[in-house]
Structure 1
Amino acid sequence: MPFTESYSQDEQRLLLQLARYAVVRGIAGLEPERPAGYLIPAELERPRACFVTLKIDGQLRGCIGNLEANGALADAVLRNSYLAAFRDQRFEPVSESERQQLEYEISVLTPMQPLPVSCEADLLATLRPGIDGLLFEAEGRLATFLPSVWEQLTQPEQFVRQLRLKAGLPADYWSDAVQCWIYQTIRIEEVSGDPD
């Protein structure tokens, strides 16, 4: 199945509405589920992996996602929005007082592509700053950075060092066991808070 390169304004608006809906339900103590009466377009029923990032005043407030497309994009957005708001262990659960301040960003992942690299120099030379997300795995540990992380870590060396630390590995770790995959994202964002 070919990967969609973009989503219409209506589809993007609907995905952002679903993200907000999941958080509002969570604040009320309810699990995420599809809202009654919403017509989900066929494009949003396709299996897609995604991450949902929540921010307040541009600062990270939660980020959770899935790396494999194991269900409809609409459902992944609902689930990951809820998890980013209430299950990201780096933060306290989102409160009602924060709801109107939340900024939502949805990153729809393209399929993972294996990146055969034999050394760190290969990896650094292959990565495209601002374009590629990277999944790094070694010794049973894995971590990923979305392409948006390049906005903070602009140099490939920084990007890879911080990703290894995120995986719980030494910053300069390398071995023959390293496996890497790259992907790109379609970024859907809203920074105006909750208009509803």
Structure 2
Amino acid sequence: MSRKEHETAASRGKALIHIARGAIAQALGEAYPSVPQDEWLSEWGATFVTLTQAGELRGCIGSLQAHRPLAEDVHQNALAAAFRDPRFAPLCRHELGMTECEVSLLSAAERMKFSGEHDALSQLRPGVDGVIFEYGPYRSTFLPQVWEQLPHPRHFMAHLKRKAGLHDGFWAEEVQLSRYTVNKWREADFPKANH
């Protein structure tokens, strides 16, 4: 990536973080300046918004496929991560200052071809691949960031199956896997973005 591309990516990341933070702040009754609506924000994109407090997950909701403009996707996913993640109570106003936002922009998912679980595991790229697991009505995904907690492909896959509602050792011929990559930005990358 050239310096110019890096700077463009960084400025876009800062804008996406600003949108996420602003959506949550405004929903909690805080004044927050809006971000200028640049043309690229109206392009369709798929994002995940992850909220953490002291390094611990506090909410994470997103889109696996682009189905609305990027700015709207980040805005809606930020609200969902803050107030509608079923694993957590809705975010309270007093928590806002201790909550960090991270935005992940997903590439298009690519269906994987494999002969069985062992073959599938051998194709995964730890730290690079986000993975979507599908089997009938069971579906789950992990962002590439999850590799930091689960660096071994077998453990990563076991937890992915558990997240889908299946047991660790489950496998069937009908299992489908897709992978994607992300560009991600955290508020800590932009110290001045914090209010």
Aligned equivalents of 2:42 and 2:70: distance in 1? 6
Distance 1:37 1:56 in 2: 24
User: Any conservation in 2 of the 1:48–1:69 contact (CA below 8 Å)?
Assistant: yes
Hey, what does 1:190 align to over in structure 2? 187
- In structure 2, C-alpha distance between the alignment counterparts of 1:162 and 1:129, rounded to whole Å: 14
Which amino acid is the alignment partner of residue 176 of structure 2?
Q
Task: Confirm or deny that 1:156 pairs with 2:153.
Answer: yes
Displacement of 1:36: 8.4
How many residue pairs get aligned? The number is 188
Amino acid corresponding to residue 91 of structure 2 in structure 1: V
Q: 1:42 to 1:49 in 2, by over 3 A?
A: same
Is it true that 1:102 corresponds to 2:91 in the alignment?
Answer: no
Q: Which runs of 5+ in 1 are unaligned?
A: 30-34
Q: CA deviation at 1:139?
A: 2.5
- Structure 2 counterpart of 1:25: 26
Q: Which amino acid aligns with 1:102?
A: T
- Output the CA distance in 2 between the equivalents of 1:9 and 1:133: 21
Q: Once the two structures are aligned, what percentage of the paired residues are identical?
A: 37
Q: CA deviation at 1:6?
A: 8.5
Q: Deviations over 1:63-92 (max 9, x none)?
A: 000111001111111000000000001111
The answer to which structure has the higher helix fraction is 2
Which residue matches 2:15?
Answer: 14
**Matches for 1:1-196 after TM superposition, within 5 Å:** 7-28=8-29, 38-191=35-188, 195-196=194-195
Partner amino acid for 2:19?
L
Measure the CA separation in 1 of the matches of 2:193 and 2:137: 39
TM-score scaled by structure 2? Answer: 0.90
Structure 1 residues 175 and 6, CA, compared in 2 at 3 Å: closer, same or farther? farther
Q: Which amino acid letter does the alignment assign opposite residue 16 of structure 2?
A: L
Q: In the aligned structure 2, how far is the partner of 1:37 from the partner of 1:55? A: 23
Gaps of 5+ in 2: none
CA gap of 1:193–1:175, structure 2 versus 1, over 3 A, is farther
Contact 2:48 2:77 in 1 (8 A): yes
Query: What is the Cα deviation at residue 50 of structure 1?
Result: 0.7
Instruction: Return the TM-score normalized by structure 1.
Output: 0.89
Report the Cα offset of residue 15 of structure 1. Answer: 1.0
Question: Alpha carbons of 1:111 and 1:45: their partners in 2 closer, same or farther (altered >3 Å)?
Answer: same
Amino acid corresponding to residue 118 of structure 1 in structure 2:
S
